[in-house]
Structure 1
Amino acid sequence: MKTLVLPLSDAELVAACRRGSAAAQQELYHRFAPKMLALCLRYVHHEFDAEEVLARGFVKVFRCLGQFEGRGSLEGWVRRIVVHEALSYLRRREILTLRLEDCHTGHLATDLPTADVELQAADLLRLVQELPAGYRAVFNLCALEGYTHPEVAALLGISEGTSKSQLSKARAVLQRQVAALHSSFSTSYAQAHVA
Protein backbone atom coordinates (compact mmCIF):
# COMPACT_ATOMS: atom_id res chain seq x y z
CA MET A 1 0.00 0.00 0.00
CA LYS A 2 1.31 3.42 -1.01
CA THR A 3 1.83 5.94 1.79
CA LEU A 4 0.16 9.30 1.32
CA VAL A 5 2.54 12.24 1.71
CA LEU A 6 0.76 15.41 2.76
CA PRO A 7 0.18 18.18 1.82
CA LEU A 8 -1.00 17.38 -1.69
CA SER A 9 -1.99 19.74 -4.46
CA ASP A 10 -5.70 19.80 -5.26
CA ALA A 11 -5.13 17.65 -8.37
CA GLU A 12 -3.10 15.08 -6.40
CA LEU A 13 -5.68 15.07 -3.63
CA VAL A 14 -8.56 14.46 -6.05
CA ALA A 15 -6.64 11.67 -7.78
CA ALA A 16 -5.87 9.98 -4.44
CA CYS A 17 -9.51 10.28 -3.35
CA ARG A 18 -10.66 8.74 -6.62
CA ARG A 19 -8.33 5.80 -5.94
CA GLY A 20 -10.13 5.31 -2.62
CA SER A 21 -7.45 6.60 -0.27
CA ALA A 22 -9.03 7.13 3.15
CA ALA A 23 -6.15 9.46 4.14
CA ALA A 24 -6.79 11.62 1.07
CA GLN A 25 -10.51 11.74 1.80
CA GLN A 26 -9.75 12.79 5.36
CA GLU A 27 -7.31 15.44 4.09
CA LEU A 28 -9.91 16.82 1.65
CA TYR A 29 -12.48 17.03 4.43
CA HIS A 30 -10.10 18.73 6.88
CA ARG A 31 -8.84 21.13 4.22
CA PHE A 32 -12.29 22.51 3.41
CA ALA A 33 -14.64 21.65 6.31
CA PRO A 34 -13.94 24.74 8.49
CA LYS A 35 -14.71 27.18 5.65
CA MET A 36 -17.71 25.16 4.53
CA LEU A 37 -19.11 25.02 8.08
CA ALA A 38 -18.88 28.82 8.27
CA LEU A 39 -20.73 28.97 4.95
CA CYS A 40 -23.45 26.60 6.27
CA LEU A 41 -23.90 28.74 9.37
CA ARG A 42 -24.79 31.70 7.17
CA TYR A 43 -27.69 29.74 5.67
CA VAL A 44 -29.12 27.90 8.68
CA HIS A 45 -29.83 29.06 12.23
CA HIS A 46 -28.33 26.37 14.43
CA GLU A 47 -24.87 24.83 14.53
CA PHE A 48 -26.33 21.32 14.70
CA ASP A 49 -28.26 21.97 11.46
CA ALA A 50 -25.17 23.49 9.84
CA GLU A 51 -23.20 20.37 10.71
CA GLU A 52 -25.94 18.25 9.12
CA VAL A 53 -25.78 20.34 5.95
CA LEU A 54 -21.98 20.05 5.98
CA ALA A 55 -22.09 16.27 6.36
CA ARG A 56 -24.64 15.88 3.56
CA GLY A 57 -22.58 18.22 1.40
CA PHE A 58 -19.42 16.19 1.86
CA VAL A 59 -21.25 12.96 1.11
CA LYS A 60 -22.17 14.53 -2.24
CA VAL A 61 -18.61 15.81 -2.72
CA PHE A 62 -17.18 12.31 -2.33
CA ARG A 63 -19.93 10.72 -4.41
CA CYS A 64 -19.47 13.24 -7.25
CA LEU A 65 -15.69 13.62 -7.11
CA GLY A 66 -15.40 11.79 -10.42
CA GLN A 67 -17.24 14.71 -12.03
CA PHE A 68 -14.65 17.29 -10.92
CA GLU A 69 -12.84 18.17 -14.14
CA GLY A 70 -10.17 20.39 -12.66
CA ARG A 71 -11.55 23.55 -14.24
CA GLY A 72 -11.55 26.17 -11.53
CA SER A 73 -10.56 25.57 -7.95
CA LEU A 74 -11.44 22.49 -5.95
CA GLU A 75 -12.56 24.76 -3.12
CA GLY A 76 -14.98 26.57 -5.44
CA TRP A 77 -16.39 23.24 -6.65
CA VAL A 78 -16.86 22.01 -3.06
CA ARG A 79 -18.42 25.37 -2.14
CA ARG A 80 -21.02 25.08 -4.93
CA ILE A 81 -22.03 21.63 -3.73
CA VAL A 82 -22.34 22.79 -0.12
CA VAL A 83 -24.34 25.89 -1.15
CA HIS A 84 -26.73 23.67 -3.12
CA GLU A 85 -27.08 21.38 -0.09
CA ALA A 86 -27.78 24.38 2.17
CA LEU A 87 -30.50 25.53 -0.23
CA SER A 88 -31.97 22.03 -0.30
CA TYR A 89 -32.00 22.06 3.49
CA LEU A 90 -33.85 25.38 3.51
CA ARG A 91 -36.42 24.03 1.07
CA ARG A 92 -36.95 20.93 3.23
CA ARG A 93 -36.89 22.49 6.69
CA GLU A 94 -37.80 26.16 6.50
CA ILE A 95 -40.44 28.18 4.77
CA LEU A 96 -38.43 29.64 1.91
CA THR A 97 -40.77 32.45 0.92
CA LEU A 98 -39.50 33.99 -2.26
CA ARG A 99 -42.59 35.24 -4.06
CA LEU A 100 -43.06 39.00 -3.99
CA GLU A 101 -46.74 38.81 -3.17
CA ASP A 102 -45.99 36.68 -0.09
CA CYS A 103 -43.25 38.93 1.30
CA HIS A 104 -43.80 41.10 4.34
CA THR A 105 -42.56 44.42 3.09
CA GLY A 106 -43.56 47.00 5.67
CA HIS A 107 -41.51 50.20 5.51
CA LEU A 108 -37.99 49.33 4.47
CA ALA A 109 -36.00 52.52 4.79
CA THR A 110 -32.84 52.51 2.76
CA ASP A 111 -31.74 56.03 3.62
CA LEU A 112 -30.46 55.21 7.09
CA PRO A 113 -27.03 56.61 7.87
CA THR A 114 -24.22 54.11 7.67
CA ALA A 115 -23.31 52.99 11.16
CA ASP A 116 -19.62 53.37 11.90
CA VAL A 117 -19.57 50.40 14.23
CA GLU A 118 -16.99 47.70 14.21
CA LEU A 119 -19.00 44.53 14.52
CA GLN A 120 -17.47 41.21 15.37
CA ALA A 121 -17.88 38.42 12.82
CA ALA A 122 -20.19 36.62 15.24
CA ASP A 123 -22.46 39.70 15.40
CA LEU A 124 -22.66 39.89 11.62
CA LEU A 125 -23.38 36.18 11.36
CA ARG A 126 -26.17 36.52 13.93
CA LEU A 127 -27.73 39.41 11.99
CA VAL A 128 -27.67 37.43 8.75
CA GLN A 129 -29.10 34.37 10.51
CA GLU A 130 -32.00 36.46 11.83
CA LEU A 131 -33.13 37.32 8.31
CA PRO A 132 -36.21 35.48 7.03
CA ALA A 133 -35.16 32.35 5.08
CA GLY A 134 -35.84 33.85 1.64
CA TYR A 135 -33.95 37.06 2.34
CA ARG A 136 -31.11 35.07 3.93
CA ALA A 137 -30.76 32.71 0.96
CA VAL A 138 -30.67 35.48 -1.64
CA PHE A 139 -28.38 37.69 0.47
CA ASN A 140 -25.92 34.85 0.99
CA LEU A 141 -25.94 33.87 -2.67
CA CYS A 142 -25.59 37.41 -4.07
CA ALA A 143 -23.70 39.42 -1.48
CA LEU A 144 -21.47 36.75 0.00
CA GLU A 145 -21.11 34.04 -2.64
CA GLY A 146 -21.02 36.33 -5.67
CA TYR A 147 -23.84 34.74 -7.65
CA THR A 148 -25.61 36.97 -10.18
CA HIS A 149 -29.36 37.55 -10.09
CA PRO A 150 -29.91 35.28 -13.14
CA GLU A 151 -27.94 32.52 -11.37
CA VAL A 152 -29.90 32.99 -8.12
CA ALA A 153 -33.16 32.95 -10.05
CA ALA A 154 -32.19 29.65 -11.68
CA LEU A 155 -30.99 28.11 -8.39
CA LEU A 156 -34.11 29.06 -6.45
CA GLY A 157 -36.71 28.83 -9.21
CA ILE A 158 -37.69 32.50 -8.97
CA SER A 159 -37.59 35.49 -11.28
CA GLU A 160 -34.62 37.84 -11.48
CA GLY A 161 -36.89 40.62 -10.22
CA THR A 162 -37.73 38.61 -7.13
CA SER A 163 -34.04 37.96 -6.51
CA LYS A 164 -33.28 41.68 -6.79
CA SER A 165 -36.19 42.56 -4.51
CA GLN A 166 -35.20 39.99 -1.87
CA LEU A 167 -31.60 41.26 -1.87
CA SER A 168 -32.73 44.87 -1.55
CA LYS A 169 -35.05 44.01 1.33
CA ALA A 170 -32.39 41.92 3.06
CA ARG A 171 -29.92 44.79 2.83
CA ALA A 172 -32.50 47.24 4.19
CA VAL A 173 -33.25 44.95 7.15
CA LEU A 174 -29.54 44.48 7.86
CA GLN A 175 -28.95 48.22 7.57
CA ARG A 176 -31.71 48.86 10.15
CA GLN A 177 -30.27 46.20 12.46
CA VAL A 178 -26.77 47.69 12.23
CA ALA A 179 -28.18 51.18 12.87
CA ALA A 180 -30.03 49.83 15.92
CA LEU A 181 -26.81 48.26 17.19
CA HIS A 182 -25.01 51.54 16.60
CA SER A 183 -27.68 53.39 18.56
CA SER A 184 -27.49 50.84 21.36
CA PHE A 185 -23.68 51.12 21.51
CA SER A 186 -23.86 54.94 21.49
CA THR A 187 -26.41 55.00 24.32
CA SER A 188 -24.39 52.54 26.41
CA TYR A 189 -21.21 54.54 25.81
CA ALA A 190 -22.89 57.83 26.76
CA GLN A 191 -24.41 56.35 29.93
CA ALA A 192 -21.04 54.90 30.95
CA HIS A 193 -19.33 58.27 30.64
CA VAL A 194 -22.08 60.28 32.38
CA ALA A 195 -21.88 58.20 35.56
Structure 2
Amino acid sequence: MASPRAYNAARLMRCAAPFRASAPMTARRFESQLARGTAGVPAELPSTNQNTPDYTITADKATSTFTPVPKKVQNGSEDVPYIQAAVISGAPMELQARTVRIFQEAKPATQSGNWQGHHWRMDWDILPKGHRWENPLMGWQSSGDMMQGTKLNFKSKEDAIHFAEKQGYEYFVSEPQSRRIKPKAYANNFLYSPKKLKHIRTK
Protein backbone atom coordinates (compact mmCIF):
# COMPACT_ATOMS: atom_id res chain seq x y z
CA MET A 1 0.00 0.00 0.00
CA ALA A 2 1.41 3.38 -1.03
CA SER A 3 2.08 5.94 1.67
CA PRO A 4 0.21 9.29 1.74
CA ARG A 5 3.48 11.13 1.00
CA ALA A 6 4.07 9.21 -2.25
CA TYR A 7 0.44 9.67 -3.30
CA ASN A 8 0.62 13.46 -2.78
CA ALA A 9 3.92 13.66 -4.70
CA ALA A 10 2.44 11.91 -7.72
CA ARG A 11 -0.60 14.19 -7.60
CA LEU A 12 1.59 17.31 -7.58
CA MET A 13 3.58 16.05 -10.56
CA ARG A 14 0.43 15.52 -12.62
CA CYS A 15 -0.81 18.99 -11.83
CA ALA A 16 2.55 20.61 -12.70
CA ALA A 17 2.71 19.00 -16.23
CA PRO A 18 1.75 21.41 -19.08
CA PHE A 19 -1.67 21.01 -20.59
CA ARG A 20 -1.80 19.49 -24.09
CA ALA A 21 -4.86 19.88 -26.24
CA SER A 22 -5.62 16.62 -27.94
CA ALA A 23 -6.13 17.19 -31.67
CA PRO A 24 -8.38 14.93 -33.69
CA MET A 25 -6.69 11.96 -35.35
CA THR A 26 -7.81 13.01 -38.82
CA ALA A 27 -6.33 16.47 -38.46
CA ARG A 28 -2.98 15.15 -37.27
CA ARG A 29 -2.88 12.53 -40.00
CA PHE A 30 -3.46 14.99 -42.86
CA GLU A 31 -1.14 17.56 -41.34
CA SER A 32 1.76 15.10 -41.22
CA GLN A 33 1.39 14.33 -44.94
CA LEU A 34 1.87 17.91 -46.06
CA ALA A 35 5.16 18.50 -47.82
CA ARG A 36 7.35 21.26 -46.49
CA GLY A 37 7.97 24.25 -48.71
CA THR A 38 5.50 23.29 -51.46
CA ALA A 39 2.91 25.93 -50.78
CA GLY A 40 2.30 28.10 -53.85
CA VAL A 41 4.64 26.09 -56.11
CA PRO A 42 2.99 24.95 -59.38
CA ALA A 43 3.06 21.27 -60.21
CA GLU A 44 5.60 20.05 -62.76
CA LEU A 45 4.39 19.25 -66.24
CA PRO A 46 4.56 15.58 -67.25
CA SER A 47 7.61 14.76 -69.35
CA THR A 48 7.89 12.32 -72.22
CA ASN A 49 10.99 10.81 -70.62
CA GLN A 50 8.78 8.94 -68.20
CA ASN A 51 7.59 6.69 -71.01
CA THR A 52 11.08 5.70 -72.16
CA PRO A 53 12.22 2.23 -71.01
CA ASP A 54 14.68 1.98 -68.17
CA TYR A 55 17.50 -0.18 -69.49
CA THR A 56 19.25 -0.30 -66.12
CA ILE A 57 16.43 -2.09 -64.34
CA THR A 58 16.72 -5.78 -63.58
CA ALA A 59 14.55 -7.82 -65.94
CA ASP A 60 11.83 -9.86 -64.28
CA LYS A 61 11.53 -13.15 -66.18
CA ALA A 62 8.13 -13.82 -64.65
CA THR A 63 6.46 -10.68 -66.03
CA SER A 64 8.73 -9.78 -68.95
CA THR A 65 7.36 -9.90 -72.50
CA PHE A 66 10.72 -11.01 -73.94
CA THR A 67 10.75 -14.41 -75.56
CA PRO A 68 13.70 -16.34 -77.01
CA VAL A 69 11.49 -17.72 -79.76
CA PRO A 70 12.49 -16.21 -83.14
CA LYS A 71 9.96 -14.25 -85.13
CA LYS A 72 9.97 -16.87 -87.88
CA VAL A 73 8.79 -19.48 -85.41
CA GLN A 74 6.15 -17.19 -83.91
CA ASN A 75 4.49 -16.30 -87.18
CA GLY A 76 5.01 -19.72 -88.73
CA SER A 77 7.09 -18.54 -91.69
CA GLU A 78 10.06 -20.82 -90.96
CA ASP A 79 10.03 -23.94 -93.11
CA VAL A 80 11.02 -26.58 -90.55
CA PRO A 81 9.13 -29.81 -89.82
CA TYR A 82 9.56 -29.42 -86.04
CA ILE A 83 9.31 -26.86 -83.27
CA GLN A 84 12.62 -25.64 -81.92
CA ALA A 85 13.48 -26.98 -78.50
CA ALA A 86 14.25 -23.49 -77.20
CA VAL A 87 10.51 -22.86 -76.98
CA ILE A 88 9.83 -25.49 -74.31
CA SER A 89 13.25 -26.64 -73.09
CA GLY A 90 13.48 -24.15 -70.21
CA ALA A 91 17.11 -23.33 -71.08
CA PRO A 92 18.42 -19.89 -70.06
CA MET A 93 17.51 -17.13 -72.48
CA GLU A 94 21.17 -16.09 -72.68
CA LEU A 95 21.93 -19.20 -74.72
CA GLN A 96 19.66 -18.10 -77.56
CA ALA A 97 21.97 -15.21 -78.40
CA ARG A 98 25.10 -17.35 -78.53
CA THR A 99 26.62 -18.74 -81.73
CA VAL A 100 27.98 -22.27 -81.88
CA ARG A 101 30.86 -23.46 -84.03
CA ILE A 102 30.88 -26.86 -85.73
CA PHE A 103 34.30 -28.12 -86.75
CA GLN A 104 36.53 -31.15 -86.92
CA GLU A 105 39.62 -31.15 -84.76
CA ALA A 106 42.98 -31.36 -86.43
CA LYS A 107 45.69 -33.80 -85.55
CA PRO A 108 48.20 -32.43 -83.02
CA ALA A 109 51.73 -31.68 -84.13
CA THR A 110 53.12 -34.35 -81.82
CA GLN A 111 53.29 -38.06 -82.56
CA SER A 112 49.95 -38.69 -80.92
CA GLY A 113 47.17 -40.48 -82.76
CA ASN A 114 44.52 -38.86 -84.92
CA TRP A 115 41.52 -40.07 -82.95
CA GLN A 116 40.35 -36.50 -82.33
CA GLY A 117 39.80 -35.99 -86.04
CA HIS A 118 37.36 -38.91 -86.35
CA HIS A 119 34.36 -36.97 -85.00
CA TRP A 120 32.84 -33.51 -85.30
CA ARG A 121 32.77 -31.11 -82.39
CA MET A 122 30.43 -28.28 -81.44
CA ASP A 123 31.30 -25.60 -78.91
CA TRP A 124 30.18 -22.09 -78.01
CA ASP A 125 32.03 -18.93 -78.95
CA ILE A 126 33.88 -17.24 -76.13
CA LEU A 127 32.21 -14.14 -74.74
CA PRO A 128 34.02 -10.83 -75.34
CA LYS A 129 36.15 -9.03 -72.80
CA GLY A 130 34.34 -8.26 -69.56
CA HIS A 131 33.54 -11.84 -68.60
CA ARG A 132 37.17 -12.58 -67.75
CA TRP A 133 39.34 -11.40 -64.89
CA GLU A 134 42.62 -12.25 -63.28
CA ASN A 135 42.24 -14.51 -60.32
CA PRO A 136 44.01 -12.92 -57.33
CA LEU A 137 44.84 -16.34 -55.87
CA MET A 138 47.12 -17.76 -58.57
CA GLY A 139 47.05 -15.09 -61.24
CA TRP A 140 45.20 -17.33 -63.68
CA GLN A 141 42.43 -16.17 -65.97
CA SER A 142 38.98 -16.71 -64.49
CA SER A 143 35.81 -16.62 -66.53
CA GLY A 144 32.13 -16.08 -65.87
CA ASP A 145 31.13 -17.89 -69.05
CA MET A 146 29.25 -21.04 -68.13
CA MET A 147 29.56 -22.48 -71.65
CA GLN A 148 33.26 -21.92 -72.16
CA GLY A 149 34.32 -25.47 -71.33
CA THR A 150 31.27 -27.17 -72.82
CA LYS A 151 31.65 -29.23 -75.99
CA LEU A 152 29.57 -31.84 -77.79
CA ASN A 153 30.87 -34.56 -80.10
CA PHE A 154 28.98 -35.98 -83.07
CA LYS A 155 29.70 -38.76 -85.50
CA SER A 156 29.13 -36.62 -88.58
CA LYS A 157 28.73 -33.01 -89.62
CA GLU A 158 25.08 -33.57 -90.54
CA ASP A 159 24.28 -34.76 -87.02
CA ALA A 160 25.82 -31.65 -85.51
CA ILE A 161 23.94 -29.35 -87.88
CA HIS A 162 20.67 -31.16 -87.20
CA PHE A 163 21.16 -30.80 -83.45
CA ALA A 164 21.93 -27.07 -83.72
CA GLU A 165 18.88 -26.44 -85.89
CA LYS A 166 16.63 -28.44 -83.60
CA GLN A 167 17.82 -26.49 -80.57
CA GLY A 168 17.44 -23.16 -82.38
CA TYR A 169 21.13 -22.19 -82.18
CA GLU A 170 22.86 -19.94 -84.68
CA TYR A 171 25.80 -21.91 -86.06
CA PHE A 172 28.57 -21.84 -88.63
CA VAL A 173 30.63 -24.73 -89.97
CA SER A 174 34.42 -24.68 -90.26
CA GLU A 175 35.46 -27.14 -92.93
CA PRO A 176 38.57 -29.19 -92.04
CA GLN A 177 41.84 -28.81 -93.90
CA SER A 178 43.36 -32.11 -94.92
CA ARG A 179 47.04 -32.76 -94.39
CA ARG A 180 49.18 -32.67 -97.51
CA ILE A 181 52.33 -34.75 -97.12
CA LYS A 182 54.86 -34.40 -99.93
CA PRO A 183 56.76 -37.57 -100.85
CA LYS A 184 60.36 -37.35 -99.70
CA ALA A 185 63.38 -39.62 -99.82
CA TYR A 186 66.45 -39.53 -97.63
CA ALA A 187 68.70 -40.15 -100.66
CA ASN A 188 67.71 -36.79 -102.11
CA ASN A 189 69.95 -35.14 -99.56
CA PHE A 190 73.01 -36.47 -101.45
CA LEU A 191 71.96 -35.54 -104.99
CA TYR A 192 74.05 -33.16 -107.03
CA SER A 193 72.85 -29.59 -107.05
CA PRO A 194 74.41 -26.87 -109.25
CA LYS A 195 73.43 -24.24 -106.71
CA LYS A 196 75.38 -23.25 -103.66
CA LEU A 197 75.81 -26.05 -101.19
CA LYS A 198 73.94 -25.93 -97.93
CA HIS A 199 76.15 -25.97 -94.89
CA ILE A 200 74.27 -27.23 -91.87
CA ARG A 201 75.96 -25.99 -88.74
CA THR A 202 75.15 -27.63 -85.45
CA LYS A 203 77.30 -25.34 -83.31
> Which of the pair has more CA radius of gyration?
2
Q: Which has the higher helix share?
A: 1
TM-score, L = length of structure 1:
0.23
Q: Which has the higher strand share?
A: 2
TM-score, L = length of structure 2:
0.22
